[in-house]
Amino acid sequence: MASQYIYENLMYVHKNKDSFSKRSDIHSVNTRSKHKLVIPVSRLHRAKKFGSTGTEDNILRTPKKKRRTKPVTDIDTFDADSIRNNIYYYSRNEYLNRKKLLASLRVAGLFSGGKTALTKILKDIGFSYKKTDKRKILLERYDIILKRISFLREAKNIDNWDNVVFIDETWLNANHTVSRSWTDDTQASTSKVPMGKGACLIICHAGSAKYGFVENALLAFQSKTTNDYHEEMNATTFKEWFQNVLLPSLPEPSVIFMDNASYHSVQIQKPPTQANKKEEMVAWLQAKGIDANMQMLKPELIKLVKENKAANVRYEIDELALEYGHRVLRIPPYHCQYNAIELVWAQIKGYAARHNTSPPFSTKKMMTLLIEACGEVTRDDWAKVVEKTKNLIVEHFDRDIRIDSVIDNNIIIHVGEDDDEHTTSSSESESD
């Protein structure tokens, strides 16, 4: 510790004071020690006072470093879902602005930050302020709503949830361990917590209520960078795992839940953009049976592409699944609570942290702990989280029906891009 080090240096200088140069301008032991350590004399007095009577029960302790507090905008997926549910407050026939939402979240104990931090979170989970009836209210993006409704409708109609397979990716750092433990501040009772996060393991797995984790489907490898794990898992790696490992391991037709990560969503015959040439746009449109020719102007072709691209989206992964008799159901953006494996990841990471409390802290050791942790997750554990996810989906579908009834009765009016009667604004300011 720093205090112990200061005391030991002070005693060294005191013991050897006669051996220092007589011509030196530094005469006192304290001043000599001050220059040696570059610290205030008052700090030396304190170290000398406590150190001279120091015993095993009176150890010099360096004050703990003040840790930077966690940003209020750094919320997990479950907090985000709780905030989303609170936003559906307007289903009680009330206009909801940021002031009302902030008050509601504070009362519920879901958020302690201010308006600016709340605005950032709301944008991150797909909400914005829209002007309607000359008042700004909080409304969810229509594209997010449509994707959620489509997903919930399909998921609600699944007959056998035992055959629903959940896929996701996560990570584990080599230094991942418990953040707190019981201690009397002696070295013997203090765990050797490593500095920093350490190297990162990128993990991909799949599981279901019927089988638990899919046998031999674990994919884990060490990251080569410190970037976000989504940048390390690419479309080639995922496709190879999906095609050669997962699909052959599923013995019967299944519904496969996965999110909209870019490496899950490589398109077949991806629609052209404004950057493409007219020839490419015409070729794509004609391949889809849409009347287009080179005499048309580029803005006209772009309009046709936009009008038809949604109905012609095909994903490589979905096509591979169909070849094996499976169907992919994509979880809408910002709704990872519909993926049961998220709850399993929490169990995995908890096990790894509790068993990673002593050196060595390495990816090799973490890989061993990961395999052990996966083995600790039983079929019953999976059945419970799948049932919880199923109930959540049914509940949210019913909630959206209630909200739709509110909107249909003109209690809340959404102004979209095509509405000419009102001005759409994404400004953060609002009248309270």
Give the integer Cα–Cα distance in Å for 256 and 112. 37
Which pLDDT value is given to residue 98? 75
Predicted confidence (pLDDT) per residue in 208-257, tens digit: 999 999 999 999 998 876 555 556 788 999 999 999 999 999 989 999 99
Q: Which residue has the higher pLDDT, 405 or 103?
A: 103
Whether residue 298 is contained in a domain is answered as yes
Q: What is the count of structural domains for the chain?
A: 2
Assign residue 230 the CATH number of its domain: 3.30.420
Q: What's the start-to-end Cα distance of the chain, in Å?
A: 53
Q: Indicate whether 128 belongs to any domain.
A: no
Residues in the chain: 432
pLDDT in tens, 25-60: 444 545 544 445 445 556 555 655 555 444 334 444
Task: Render pLDDT for 410-432 as a digit per residue (tens, 0 to 9).
Answer: 444 333 333 333 333 333 344 44
Instruction: Give the CA distances from residue 279 to residues 2, 295, 307, 313, in Å, rounded to whole numbers and listed in that order.
Output: 71, 11, 18, 20
Q: Using alpha carbons only, how large is the chain's radius of gyration in Å?
A: 30
Burial label, 370 (beta-carbon count in 10 A; 0-12, 13-18, 19+): buried
How far is the C-alpha of 318 from the C-alpha of 255, rounded, in Å?
A: 11
Among 81, 91, 119, smallest CA distance to 426 is for 119
Q: What is the mean pLDDT of the chain?
A: 76
Whether the Cβ atoms of residue 303 and residue 354 lie closer than 8 Å to each other: no
pLDDT, tens digit, for every residue of 188-217? 444 566 656 778 899 999 999 999 999 999
Q: Cα separation of 11 and 4, whole Å?
A: 11
Instruction: State how far the Cα of 207 lies from the Cα of 340, in Å rounded to an integer.
Output: 9
Residue 357 in this model has a pLDDT that exceeds 60? yes
With contact defined as beta carbons under 8 Å apart, do 238 and 263 qualify?
A: yes
Domain coverage including residue 326: 162-395
**46 plus 172 within the same structural domain:** no
Peptide bond into 360 cis (omega under 30): yes
Asked if residue 230 is part of any domain, the answer here is yes
**235 found inside a domain:** yes
- In this prediction, residue 420 carries a pLDDT of 37
Do the domain assignments include residue 402?
Answer: no
Q: Which of 96-100, 176-180, 293-297, 338-342 tops mean pLDDT?
A: 338-342
The residues near 266 (Cβ < 8 Å, ≥ 6 apart) are: 235, 239, 315, 316, 317
pLDDT in tens, 267-311: 988 888 889 999 999 998 988 889 999 999 999 999 998 888 877
Q: Which two tokens stand for residue 190?
A: 């203090």
Instruction: Decide if 358 is inside a domain.
Output: yes
The pLDDT tens digits of the residues spanning 136-157 come to 555 678 888 889 999 999 999 9
Contacts of residue 205, Cβ cutoff 8 Å, sequence gap at least 6: 167, 168, 213, 214, 217, 218, 219, 341, 374
Q: Residue 65 — left, alpha, or beta (φ > 0 → left; ψ -120 to 50 → alpha)?
A: beta
Domain assignment present for residue 10? The answer is: yes
Contacts of 66 (CB under 8 A, 6+ apart): none
Question: Which H, E and C letters describe the chain, residue by residue?
Answer: CHHHHHHHHHHHHHHCHHHCCCCCCCCCHHHHHHHHHCCCHHHHHHHHHHHCCCCCCCCCCCCCCCCCCCCCCCCCHHHHHHHHHHHHHHHHCCCCCHHHHHHHHHHHCCCCCCHHHHHHHHHHCCEEEEEECCEEEEEECHHHHHHHHHHHHHHHCCCCHHHEEEEEEEEEECCCCCCCCCCCCCHHHCCCCCCCCCCEEEEEEEEECCCEECCCCCEEEECCCCCCHHHHCCHHHHHHHHHHHHHHHCCCCCEEEECCCHHHCCECCCCCCCCCCHHHHHHHHHHCCCCCCCCCCHHHHHHHHHHHHHHHCCEHHHHHHHHCCCEEEECCCCCHHHCCHHHHHHHHHHHHHHCCCCCCCCHHHHHHHHHHHHHHCCHHHHHHHHHHHHHHHHHHHHHHHHHHHHHHCCCCCCCCCCCCCCCCCCCCCCCC
Q: Are residues 343 and 200 in the same domain?
A: yes
The reply to whether 407 falls in a domain is no
Same domain, residue pair 211 and 359: yes
Residue whose tokens read 């301008």: 25
Q: Are 157 and 329 in contact (CB under 8 A)?
A: no
**What whole-number percentage of the chain has pLDDT above 70?**
65
